[in-house]
Amino acid sequence: MRAVVVLGAALLAGTIWTSAAPPQVGTWTSRFDVRASDLGPTGRNAYFILEPGHTAAYAAGNERLVINVLNETRRVDGVETRVVEERETKAGTLVEVSRNYFAISATTRDVFYFGEAVDIYRDGRIVDHEGAWESGVNGARFGLMMPAEPRPSSKYYQELAPKIAMDRAAIVALHETVRTPAGEFKDCVKVEETTPLEPGVREYKYYAREVGLVQDGPLKLVR
């Protein structure tokens, strides 16, 4: 997933600089003001769950995605983060495994994204690690993955790793209905994801209250 201040000095002062405040119209928030001591690896807000053992599976055609919140943490950029594994398959063949690093604010319940390790597979073998990044390494900075209170027209970076991962999100609706094999979900938050690294490309995700992600592009929740 995908200006900038130096994190190292900010962390020494006990503060990570990026902002949970609503962005101005027409801009993408890329700075968040949150103390490292306020962030932890476990918890949830209405739309994102960071609790070990939580699992969700998605499908579309011959594609499958399984997301597991692992009983594992990793210290990234001075913050203890939760490891969330995503396993993608096509026609039963493993194509990608990513280990994503998230932390949640004890004060606001906003969830922040600190990076990912990526293994891309071909014919059962790892062939690439494209898209891997960590906050604090080579100028990369963490971003906001899911605010506790999504607001219409909010626009923010989810990840800030120059030339590698620069995903950004725009909240485009708060009351969508999504029908999936796992059930019908109302009042879902619709998020449009784009990146300046691929102009013109747009993807949409839907999040249901107390459930989390229910649709990722064509992939829909099955359990």
pLDDT in tens, 66-103: 999 999 999 999 999 999 999 999 999 999 999 999 99
Dihedral sign, Cα of residue 118, residue 4, residue 15, residue 54 = negative
What pLDDT is recorded for position 106?
A: 97
What pLDDT is recorded for position 122?
A: 94
What pLDDT is recorded for position 207?
A: 98
What pLDDT is recorded for position 16?
A: 52
What pLDDT is recorded for position 153?
A: 86
Mean pLDDT score of the chain, rounded to an integer?
A: 90
Q: What is the pTM of this model?
A: 0.89
Delimit the domains of the chain by residue range: 7-164
**What is the band of 29 on the pLDDT scale with cuts at 50, 70, 90?**
very high
Task: Report which of residues 32 and 98 the model is more confident about.
Answer: 98
Three-state DSSP state, 70: strand
Q: What angle do CA 59, 62, 66 make, to 5 degrees?
A: 40
pLDDT in tens, 182-197: 999 999 999 999 999 9
What pLDDT is recorded for position 24?
A: 39
pLDDT in tens, 143-185: 999 999 999 989 999 999 999 999 999 999 999 999 999 999 9
What pLDDT is recorded for position 78?
A: 95
Query: Residue for token digits 């960071």?
Result: 50
Report the share of the chain in percent with pLDDT over 90. Answer: 86
| Backbone φ and ψ of 123, nearest 5° | 55, 40
